[in-house]
Amino acid sequence: ALAHYQEVMKRYAEEKKN
């Protein structure tokens, strides 16, 4: 379930950055 967390974190970081 680490891969899923990494994907979510990456997407969240991208959304927060923008």
For the stretch 1-18, pLDDT in tens is 789 999 999 999 999 887
CA distances from residue 5 to 10, 14, 18 in whole angstroms, order as listed: 8, 14, 20
Distance of CA 13 to the CA centre of its chain: 6
At 12 the pLDDT is 95
CA distances from 17 to 5, 9, 12, 13 (A): 18, 12, 8, 6
As given in the structure block, the two tokens for residue 8 are: 């979510």
What is the C-alpha separation between 1 and 10, in angstroms, rounded? 14
pTM of the predicted structure, to 2 decimals? 0.14
Report pLDDT for 7: 94
